[in-house]
């Protein structure tokens, strides 16, 4: 639309209505664009100044996020919101690096021989239980459970029928 305004300025002898007919753009759109051009230019200039200050502050504090940059800019006397700072950082591609999370070392897995006598149970979570059988009842009864894969030649499961509890 701005290029149409520049083209319109090169043809001052044409009225705005006639020019709109030639370029096949609605008259009201050209009129509104021409009327709001100074305000748009001022707003763009103000935005560029703010973005430059955000860029300078972000380069001074490269590991600071938008909240710390907001506090820094506020201390400098700038009136800019958190969202504008986030948008500016995104457009300027100045997002600080994300902090790396350190993973806690995983606990050592002890072998089943180190477990107490009552806890030595091998459970195959992939083994399907037959309907009506409950693994919890097996464990309460102290029976060993060695799950199988359900295929011929695999380890067989020892199941007890589920009893109704009173």
> What is the value of pTM for the model shown?
0.48
Q: What is the pLDDT of residues 51-89, one digit of tens each?
A: 999 999 999 988 888 999 999 999 999 889 999 999 999
Q: What is the pLDDT of residues 23-46, one digit of tens each?
A: 888 888 888 888 888 898 999 999
Per-position DSSP letters for 70-114, written without gaps between them: HHHHHHTT----HHHHHHHHHHHT-PPPPPPPPPPPPPPPPPGGG
- SS in 3 state form for 34-49? HHHHHHHHHHHHHHHH
Q: How confident is the model at residue 120 (pLDDT cuts 50, 70, 90)?
A: low
């Amino acid at each position: 639309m701005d290029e149409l305004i520049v083209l319109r300025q090169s043809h001052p002898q044409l009225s705005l209505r006639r020019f709109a007919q030639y370029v096949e753009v609605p008259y009201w759109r050209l009129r509104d664009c021409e009327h709001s051009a100074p305000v748009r230019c001022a707003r763009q200039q103000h935005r560029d100044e703010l973005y430059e200050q955000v860029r300078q502050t972000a380069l001074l504090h490269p590991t600071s996020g938008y909240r710390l940059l907001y506090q820094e800019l506020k201390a400098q006397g700038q009136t800019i919101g958190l969202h504008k700072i986030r948008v500016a950082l995104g457009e300027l591609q100045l997002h600080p690096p994300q902090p790396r999370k350190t993973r806690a070392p995983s606990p050592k897995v002890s072998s089943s021989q180190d477990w107490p006598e009552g806890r030595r149970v091998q459970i195959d979570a992939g083994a399907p239980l037959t309907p009506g059988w409950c693994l919890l009842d097996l464990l309460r009864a102290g029976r060993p459970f060695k799950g199988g894969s359900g295929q011929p030649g695999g380890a067989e499961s020892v199941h007890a029928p589920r009893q109704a509890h009173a």
